[in-house]
Structures are given as structure tokens and as C-alpha cells.
Chains A and B, each alone.
Chain A
Amino acid sequence: MVLTYLHTLVIVFSLSASILHADRIIDFDRQIRPILSEYCFACHGPDANTREANIRLDTREGLFAEHNGIKPVTPGSTLKSAIIQVITSNDDNKIMPPPTTKRKLKQQEIELLKQWITQGATWSAHWAFRPIQPNNTIQFNQHPIDYFITQKAQKQQLSIAPEAPRQSLIRRVTLDLTGLPPTPKETKNFIEDKSPNAYEKVVDRLLASPRYGERMAWEWLDAARYADTDGFQNDPTRSMWPWRDWLINALNNNIKFDQFTKEILAGDMLPNNTKQQRLASAFNRNHTYNNEGGRIPEETRVENVMDRVETTSTIWLGLTVACARCHDHKYDPISHHDYFKLYDIFNQTSETGKQGYGRAKPIMFHTNPEQEKSLASIIKKIKKHNTSNPKNIDHKTKLKTLKKQERKLKRTIPNVMIMDHLPPEKRRKTFILDGGAYDKPTNKLVTAGIPKFLNNNKNNKQNTTEFNRLELAKWLVSNKNPLTSRVIVNRYWQTFFGKGLVTTVEDFGSQGAKPTHPQLLDWLATEFINNGWDVKQIHKTIVTSKTYRQSSKINPKSKEIDPENKLYTHAPRYRMPSWMLRDQALAISGLINTEMGGPGVKPYQPKGIWAEATFGKIKYQPDTNKNIYRRSLYIFWRRIVGPTMFFDNAKRQECEVVQNRTNTPMHALTTLNEPLFVESARAMAERILSLPENKRITFAFQLATARHPEPKETQFLTKTLNNLITEYKKSPNQAIALLNQGYSKRNPKLNPSIHAAWASLCSILLNLDETLTKE
């Protein structure tokens, strides 16, 4: 080790004069593997079936050993390294990658490879598959997050920004933790609180709010491809909302992440499992379900099993195992065989794939106490009649009526699709499917297990007793697995900073991005495990850092050096997700209805959306009560045509963890014209008009942005308001027309022209970039 190090140093020193930028030691994992992965692995990588010339470059052995007289890499000698010879060849028959691939290495990439070889070609395993590095030798003299962020920023002569003004900070953290803006009173209290732990008190209050679980549920609903219908033909309704409510409760109760994992993946298999734990297992039934006529059930069933494999892998492992469905993964060491080891785990449930119309078995009846009682009583009566005299005609009629009653009652009870585990005698045999096709089983029998490359414990359970869903869940959150904790804290980072430390939150494999701050990622991952997988605690850790609390103002120097803010020298500012914009408008207007849970609600929707997608078979009936003002996560989600007021959201058709953020005219049309936004502006105006005239502009502006307007802004908004008043005074009918929209009624005591002018001003405020943006 020491020798290699010295050797490398000497070489670097002696060559530094002749090679540009050779003053830095090339990091194999960060700089070289991505090149090899990009250009070489497809034909010289993990996939044994397509491996050319039996040369593989994704392993240490493959890179350095000699095969048939070819040595891909000889440390220290580019001349004796075949890889350099082929990538720089002028001969079309020799050059790699071959011209048919239409891919070519860039000069800079070739130079990097050369330098790496010259420097001694040190090799290391892919970062994400190595054990988490706890960094326990570092003595932190500040918040560890700030330590790592500052350390890296300083290398570029940058430092983190000063703390954001209090009104920005409270708005940011309230939106981040609850998905709603702070009330003017909350903002005021925080600004006036001079105690040293003022901010911490706010954070604790927010973490304890029931709105926290609702906010944190959103990303889980996207990842879990949660919807209220099956998708595909006829798009039948299902009732999986009890699972959604379970999720919100679990997050609010701060169920520890390891327990959470066991419950949602295998609640039905836990010893002495409760009804709630069985309900948790519905997570694995949230996938789409194809009920198309003429469909072969096995095809549907296989597709669903695959969906479970891929969803689980994305959420907990950050691995793109779908590639291995048809063949060995081209870039990561996941074999076709490994895929089916995971497949076997999810293959052992009684789901048949037959048409299920929203309640494909296995299901559970999600009864409320009253229904529970009635059902029990009917079942008891049926039993009695069955045993007393089954042949008596009277009994028969009575029995018929009772059974009818039972069926009727069961229809009113939500049927939640959950998981079960087949008993040993019914266990399915898993054969590798050729090309992943349901109708092409090979004769290769596979038994459950984790991918070989992650199995670092040869004596673990999968070799002795049955490895099943519960064992998988336990392994996912065990210290034997280097991925889960990293993957999860990385997504939390994304929740608060808009992007992950690993920007490819869905892919921690060799084609994914490298962490911008690997030590920080590992510190967070360790911290998460050491605090007992306490989610609220890790959220608190993140939001109390200076890195999180800094101003989002972009300073010119960091913009020039680091335009993408990879160094986090200012807080991010970005447009909030569309669901949060809607919730924000509801909160600002005071229309919001904070009732929790229950079946999906149906707010306003333009006429004909469902009808047009379903040939008039399904028509949308909006609610005609205060359900219209419920939070976004309770909105009924028809899978084939999702709620119309959301944009950039996951489609809820397959697991999605990446955040999509675009900026298009359609978004402007939504927040300007969508009826709920229009009604919110009108209700907001009503709130404002209850104040004395001289306080109105300030209050309105504060409601929208949490800050005081500058004098110039107040002036400008007052002028705009007066213009609008003039307009509406000219046409009071217009004013009334605007005010009469929406389910809630306007306050008739207000002057319509003034009210309407204020409503249009409030619409302006709801559409300010500052209001749409978390900053």
C-alpha cells in the first residue's frame, strides 16, 4: 500500500511537467469507472451473454489480468495497455468502441485514462457498494453537515452564505416540513422570539404537526405509484386509501424507518401481526393492474411481480434492476439470475393475475368499528343457521337472506388489496424467464435471495432457512447492506435541497452520478442508522444546519465558479411542486379544510376530462361540499388521467423518485385560471378586506411571501390596485361575475368592485415568482 502510494507519487512528480493537469491523482471510482462504464461495459461488462472476446473491464481481475495474450491495463505503461491502443487506433477494424456503435471517446477522456495508467492504475470498488465510512475520527467543531460543506467550498475560495432573513427561513422550513406556508402570526412570533433556540422551537413544532405526515407522504405516494384506480381498460376504482392513511399516520408517529420497512414490505408476515401491519403491506399492491378482456392472467401476474421487484430496488437500493429482467445488467453486477432471486421473493403471493376490478385477491376488509360489529353479527348468525338445520327450508331462506346481507355489507367496506405469503405446499417455483417474457420460462430454477454482489455474509439466512419478503426487509435495513441508508438520506436531502447529494436519486450504480459530498453522505447515513432510523431526528439534523439555513441569494462569485450550486454556498430556490402550490393557495386564502384521511376527494375539474378519456363511460362528479378544499394528497387519482391541476408530478404508473421541474406556459395558465386558484384569490381578498385600509397591502403581501413589502413594492401594488378598482367600477357586472365563482359564497356586505379588484390583485400575488418559489 505504502509502496504503491510512493510509486504513484514519484511517477506523478516526474511526469508533471509533460502532462497537462497531471498534478492531481486520478480517482478511479470517480473519474475512470464512469468512462469505462459509458463506453465499454455494454460489451465488456457484467453481461456474460454479450461479452465480446471474453474480456470484461468491470472487475479488477478483468482489467489487469491477461486473456489470450491481451492485457487491457498494465499499470504504469500506456504502451503495454491494450485499452489505450484500441481507443486511439486509426484502424476502423481495431478502434474501440467500434464505429457501428456511433460512440467515440473524447480526447479529454483518453487523456484521463492514460494518466490513470501512468500514475499506476489504482483500482477501487464502486463507491456505493463499499461499506459506509462512518467518519468517526473527525472531531467536529461545528454542525457536521456544515463541516463537510464548508470544507469543500473553501477549496474554491467560497463559503456558505449568511443566514436567511427570519421571514424567509420560517417560510422555507414550514413549507419543507408541512407543505404549507407559515401564518402571519407564526412568522411574527418567530421574528420576535429572541431566545437562542427560537429556530429549534419552530422546527420541533412543525415536526409535531399532523401536517408533517401529510407533507412527507407525497414522495412516498409517488414512489409507491399510489392511485385510486387500476389503470388500463375501464380503469376500475380501487380503495387503497386506507393504506395512504396508514402511511400518513406512520410518518406522523415517527415509526422508525427499519420498522417502517418491515411493515410495508412484509407487515403480513410479521409474527403476531396486527390489522394495521397487514394494511401496511398494501404498499406492494399499489401497482397498476391490467383487467383488459382477453388478457392472459399469468402475463398480468408476472408483470406485477416484476413491478414489485423494481419498485423495491429503486426505493431501498437505488438500483436499476429492471435492466436485468431480460439479461445480465450491462453496467452493474446484477445478473439475470440475481433478478429472479428477487423475483422469487415477490412471487410467493396468492395473487393470480385474473381480472380483479380494483379488488384482486388477496384483500382485507377495512372495517370501521361499526361495520366490524355488524359483520361479526351476520357471520355469527350464518354459522348458527348452518349448524342448526341446514336442510330445513326456513333455514335455507333465512341463510340466503343473511348471505345477501353479508355481501351487501362487504361491498360498502373498502376492499384493500394486501399481500399474503403462500404456505409451503403451494409455494411457486421460480424459473428464469427468457428475455423476461412470462410465457418463456427456462428450466433454470431459482430460489429467493439477494444479488450475489451484495451478499457479503455467506452464512446468512438465505443459505439455511427460507429467504422471503420479511427476511429481505430485515436485510435491507441491516448493517450488511451498504445501500439503504445512503439511498434514503439522499432522498431526504433532495426533499430539502431539491436535488440529491447523488443527483441520480434512482441510480446508485456505475452509470449514476457520484456523490458531490461522499463523506457527508456517509456521515448522514451513519447518523441515520445510529439514531435508530429516526426519521424526524434526521430531518431535524438537516434543517438545523447552517447549510440549510443560509440565504438563497445567489452571489456573483459562486454563480460564476459553481453555477449549479453543487457546493451549496447558497440555499436553493426553486418552484414548489404543483401540489404544494395548490395547498399554499388554500392556506393563504383560509379556504383550507384540514380534515384528514378517508376516500379520495373530487375538487373542481374542467368538464369532460374523464368522459373524453373513457368514451363517456366514466363521468367526473365533483364534490359539492368542503371536500373541495381538502389538501392535495387526498384528491382522487384516476390513473389514466390524473388530476388536471398538477404538473411535473410523478405519473403514478410506476415507481418514481426523481423530481421533475420544468417551467412552461401551461403552468402559468393553471395558477392564473384554475377555478380553485381563482376562488382562493377571492377568499384571500376577503381576509384582507377585514383589515383597516392602511394595513391591507402589507398583510396581503405577507400572506403570499411571508415578508414585508419594500416601500417601492407597496407603492407599485397600491397603484396597480387603484387601476383595477377603476376597471371594476366601470363594469360592476364583471366584478360580480368574478366574485360569484366557486362553491364558497362571497361576503355580500363588501363592495363588489373593491372586492373584485382585490381578488385580481391577490391573483397577482399568488402568481409572483417569489410566491411560487421556495427560497
Chain B
Amino acid sequence: MDPLTEQSALYTRRQFFSKGALGLGTAALSNMLPSALAGLSHYAPKAKRVIYLFQNGAPSHVDLFDHKPALKKWHGKEIPKEFLGDKRFSTMTADKTKSILAEITKFKQHGQSGAQVSSFLPYTASIADKLCFIKSMHTTQVNHAPAITFFLTGGERFGRPSIGSWLSYGLGSMNQELPTFVAMTSVDKEASCGQMFYDSYWGSGFLPSVHQGVKFRGGGDPVLYLENPTGINKSIRRKQLDAIAEMNQKHYQRTNDQEIITRIAQYEMAYKMQTSVPELTDLSKEPKSILHMYGPDVNRKGSFAYNCIMARRLAERGTRFIQLMHAGWDQHNNLNHQLKTQCIDTDQPSAALIKDLEMRGMLDETLVIWGGEFGRTPFLQGNIKDTKKWGRDHHPYAFTIWMAGGGVKPGITYGATDEFGCNVTQNPVHVHDFQATLMHLLGLDHEKLTYKHQGRNFRLTDVHGHIIKDILT
């Protein structure tokens, strides 16, 4: 047994045996959410929690962050062969001529750091000094689902635990009334793209399912079956739960099975969630100025803006890993039109979240990440003459993400790419390096946090991953 698992077992056992038959205090309650390992980080954490603003479909780095003047000069000309080597591209462009496509946005330098940010992202540009841009990301996956799975679980196929469930397993819960790991999804208004949200993106893989992300839904009950059925009001529900508890206690005395005590606690917790979740999603007490900051979509349930403010509210209430996924970035043939739409959907709320966290003094202990599963080709997909159908294909060899808050240097740019944004030329950061760094910021050694499955000690970063020390505060 590895040390953490052992600790976990000890903790649970201690808890079980120290509490008398019906000692149903908070200690017993704590067994029901994954708090077993709480406080067992390997070293002092810089961040307490993570808000991951995942941009499904892969935002175009060359149009948004990685400014390359050469693109304009080479517009319409074929990209020199030496930049491509024997690289693999999707079948959509693999056998086609690869003509450079100039950036479709305008760039300007912003803040004291002078970061280049596209005119499509004015709000992000305004907080550039708070962000750390990593321009040298690269991955090994060229299709969406495998690449997203790779980012979120460390493996390209379904079946591995996602980052949030590793953190839940490694660090436990910080609250008793809300889940430790929450996922929320949103789509661009036109629902233009075909990538879907798979449960595995927030799944627990081979870790116990108590660590899986709880999907908060955009419409209806945010948590499945949260609301009492019509005709069962709160007072009747209370009577029902009291009766169940009483009967279960009697049965515990007959059977001596401690699991019954846990079950009683779980039912009580379910009851608490019925209050705490609606309170969480009630925006009526948010000041107008705050709502305004997140933009016009903030009151539309299931929008990215709504999910962003919900992320802040979850962070305040102790949720450890909040995973937002916004889809619609897959611009194969609608770059001109769709990129702008996507930016409008996400730019203002993302920046608002950073400012909001900062105003509350929470940014220092919250790691915020913004990025997709890969980048987009500096060359064109489509016909250069058919401007309306310009697009860019998948590009795993270089792309940009940004991070902010908990333990990350603000106002810096790390890594660089060649003159076309095609290949990483300086300080490459692989997906596993990113994951190792994330774990480090949360106080976990990515090589030590392991779980034995199918005879092997698995970890998030497989057998890879180096911490990017240069971006740490």
C-alpha cells in the first residue's frame, strides 16, 4: 500500500472505531465526502483550488495570443516544408496544399508586461498583467476527444481518473455540503460544432467513484434528482428521513454493520445539499455591479458567463476543483465569423472571474487556467479565395494557454514558437509538464500521488512530467 492509501485506510478506520455506535456528528459525516486524505499534501500548497476554463475545440493561438507578423507576409503562399517535417495532420488537410493564412485579428501590446493579445479579446487584454501566458504548449493528440482526454486525465483513451478526481483523492474535501469536484458545460450560442461532452472528462476512472466530478447542469436541477418530488414538501421529507434513520439505527444494532452508519450520514448529507445547492445557484443577492462585470449572459443558465460566476461561488464555498468546459472553438471553415462569436462569449466572463477573485482576496489561492486541447494550423483549411469559408485545422505542435493566480507569476510570457507559430522553439511545455505543475501548485508531488490499478501504480502524469519552475512565484 502506498503511504497515502495507507493513511486513508487508517483515517477511515480510526474514524469508524472512535465514533460510538451512533456517533453521528460531523466526524461521521466527513466520511461521506472524500475527505479521507484531507491535509495530506506533500508540501505547502500555493493554491487551494483550481478553476479550469477549458476551451473545447481548440482556440486558434495564432489569431488570439501568439502574434506572428510573418503570417501576413506569407499569406497565400505555401508554408516551407522544413516547418512541417513528417508531421501528422488530420485527414482534412493531410494531403492538401498548406497555404499560410494571415491572422484574422489585430494584435496590440497590453499592460506593463507588453503581452500581445488579439483585438478580439479586449477584456482579457485589460488584465494581461495578471496572466501568465504559456506559448510553448504541445501535445501528442491530433483529434478532439483523445486530446481533451489527454489533457484532463493524462491518457488519450477513456478510463483514467481526471485531474479533479486525483485532487479529490489526494487532498480530500474542504466542505461538507457541496461536492469537492464540480463540472459545468456551455456551448457557443449557435451550437456550431460537433464535439460533445463525455462524462469521462470529469470521471474518476479507476479511482473510487466518490471522487468523480459532479456535473452541475445548466437547466433543471443543477444536481440530478436534487429536488423533492412534487407532493413531498420539506416537512414530509424531514419526517421520512427521520424515520429512515431510526429504522436504520435499529438495524445497525441487529447487524453490527458500520456501513449502515455511513448510509445514515449520507442521507443526511443529501438533505443538506437540497438546501446548499439552491443557495449556491441563487444569484439574487449578488450586487448588480458584479453581475454587470460578467456581462449580459450572466443570468442565462448554462452560459459560460453564468458558469463563471457559479465557479466563483463554488470556490467561496470550498469546492476544490471547478471544471468549466466551453465548446465551439473548432473553426475548420468558419473562422472569420465564429472566432469572434466565441470570444464574445468567453472574453468578458473570464476576465471578470479573475477580477472578482482578486477583489475578494481569493486569487492568490486560486489557480485559474484558460486553454484548449491543442492549437490551430498557421496554414489554411479551405480555399484562399473563399474568404467566408476560411478555417484552420487541428495543430498539436504548438499552442498557447494562460494561467493566473495561486503560485503563478503574473504578467509573464513563457516559451516561444517559430516565425509561423508552427513549432515550439523555446521552453517546450508538454501536457504532462502542465499537469505536474498544476499538482505541484496544489502541494502534491505528481510522482508520489499514485493509485494501484491492474497491478500498476498509476499517476496522472503516467511516467512523464516536469514542473515548469520558471513560472512559479
Task: Give A contacts to B, CB under 8 Å.
Answer: 102, 231-235, 288, 290, 292-296, 303, 320, 322-323, 330-332, 439, 504, 506-507, 509-512, 552-556, 559, 573-575, 606-609, 612-617, 640-642, 644, 647-648, 651, 653-654, 660, 662-670, 672-675, 678, 712-713, 716-717, 720, 723-724, 727, 734-739, 741, 756, 760, 763-764, 767-770, 772, 775
Whether A320 contacts B199 by the Cβ 8 Å rule is no
Q: Closest Cβ of chain B: how far from A327's Cβ, in Å?
A: 10
Q: Complex: how many Å from CA A738 to CA B236?
A: 12
Among A235, A330, A712, contact of B250 (Cβ-Cβ < 8 Å): A712
CB nearest to B219 among chain A residues: A608
- CA A768 to CA B249, docked complex, whole Å: 10
Chain B residues closer than 8 Å to A760, beta-carbon distance? 232, 236, 239-240
Interface string of B174-211 (1 = CB under 8 A from A): 00000000000101000101111111100100001110
A-B contacts, 22 listed (Cβ < 8 Å): A102-B445, A232-B198, A330-B456, A331-B455, A510-B455, A556-B256, A606-B217, A606-B225, A641-B198, A660-B208, A663-B262, A665-B267, A665-B269, A668-B269, A674-B225, A712-B250, A734-B233, A738-B229, A741-B231, A768-B247, A769-B264, A775-B255
A616 engages B191 (CB within 8 Å): yes
Q: Sorted from nearest, which 6 A-B pairs have the closest CB atoms?
A: A738-B231, A511-B455, A294-B90, A665-B270, A668-B270, A737-B231
Q: Does B251 make an interface contact (CB < 8 A)?
A: yes
State whether the Cβ of B79 lies closer than 8 Å to any Cβ in chain A.
no
Name the distance in Å between B303's Cβ and chain A's nearest Cβ: 13
Q: Is the CB of A606 within 8 A of B223?
A: no
Closest A residue by C-beta to B93:
A294
| B454 neighbours in A (Cβ, 8 Å) | 320, 322-323, 504, 506-507, 511
Complex formed: what's the CA distance from A736 to B229 in Å? 12
Task: List chain A residues, Cβ under 8 A from B252.
Answer: 769
Bound-state Cα–Cα, A232 to B257, Å: 42
A670 touches B200 (CB 8 A): no
Are A664 and B210 within 8 A (Cβ)? yes
Shortest CB distance A326–B (Å) = 10
| Chain A min CB distance to B254 (Å) | 7
Taking the closest CB of chain A, its distance from the CB of B170, in whole angstroms, is: 15
Q: Is B210 a contact of A662 with CB atoms below 8 Å?
A: yes
Contact A559 B302 (CB under 8 A): no
From A609, A615, A736, A772, contact of B193 by CB (8 A): A615
What residues of chain A lie closer than 8 Å to B248, measured between beta carbons?
768-770
Contact B159–A654 (Cβ < 8 Å): yes
Main secondary structure of the interface of A (DSSP, over half): loop
The reply to whether B143 and A290 contact each other, CB–CB distance below 8 Å, is yes
Chain B min CB distance to A678 (Å): 5
On whether the beta carbons of A664 and B229 are closer than 8 Å, the reply is no
Chain A residues, CB < 8 A from B365: none
Asked if B235 CB lies within 8 Å of chain A CBs, one says yes
Taking CB atoms and an 8 Å cut-off, the chain B residues in 425-453 that contact chain A are: 445, 447-448, 452
Within 8 Å CB of A763, what residues of B? 232, 240
Identity of the chain A residue whose Cβ is nearest the Cβ of B86 in the assembled complex: A439
Interface mask (B223-243 → A, CB under 8 Å = 1, otherwise 0): 111111111110111011001
Residues of B within 8 A of A614 (CB): 196
Inter-chain contact B196/A727, CB cutoff 8 Å? no
Contact present for A504 and B196 (CB under 8 Å): no
Which chain A residues lie closer than 8 Å to B21 at the CB level?
Answer: none
B window 242-289: CB within 8 A of A? 243-244, 246-248, 250-252, 254-257, 259-260, 262-264, 266-267, 269-270, 273
B379 to chain A, nearest CB (A): 15
Whether A727 pairs with B239 at a CB distance below 8 angstroms is yes
140-163 of chain B: CB within 8 A of chain A: 143-145, 157-159
Is B218 on the interface with A (CB-CB < 8 A)? yes
Query: B32 contacts A764, CB within 8 Å?
Result: no
Bound-state CA distance A612–B237 (Å) is: 30
Q: Give the Cβ gap from B126 to chain A, nearest Cβ, in Å.
A: 30
- Tell whether, in the assembled complex, residue A764 and residue B243 are in contact, meaning their CB atoms are under 8 Å apart: yes
A772 to B257, CA, bound (A): 14
Decide yes or no: A296 and B91 within 8 Å by CB, A559-B256, A612-B302, A734-B231 being known contacts: yes
B214 at the binding interface (Cβ < 8 Å): yes
Task: Report chain B residues within 8 Å CB of A642.
Answer: 199
- Contact of A292 with B143 at beta-carbon distance under 8 Å, contacts A102-B447, A662-B210, A669-B273 already known: yes
A724-B159 in contact given A673-B228, A737-B231 (Cβ < 8 Å): no
Complex Cα gap A367–B12 (Å): 55
Please state if B187 and A741 are interface contacts (CB–CB under 8 Å). no
User: Could you say which residues of chain A place their CB within 8 Å of the CB of B227?
Assistant: 673
Residues of chain A contacted by B220 (CB below 8 angstroms): 606-608
Q: Kindly state the separation between the CA atoms of A292 and B231 in the bound complex, as whole angstroms.
A: 45
Is B145 a contact partner of A612 (Cβ separation < 8 A)? Answer: no
- Is B393 on the interface with A (CB-CB < 8 A)? yes
- Whether B221 and A770, one on each chain, are in contact in the complex, defined by CB atoms closer than 8 angstroms, is no
Report if B49 contacts A (CB, 8 A): no
Tell me whether B455 and A573 are in contact (CB under 8 A).
Answer: no
- A773, B306: Cα distance in complex, Å: 40
Q: Indicate if the CB atoms of A320 and B455 lie closer than 8 Å.
A: yes
Contact check, B247 vs A233: say whether CB atoms are below 8 A apart: no
| Closest residue of A by beta carbon distance from B228 | A673
CB distance from A439 to the nearest CB of B (A): 7
B257 neighbours in A (Cβ, 8 Å) = 554, 573
Q: Are B247 and A737 in contact (CB under 8 A)?
A: no
Does the CB pair A573–B255 fall under 8 Å? yes
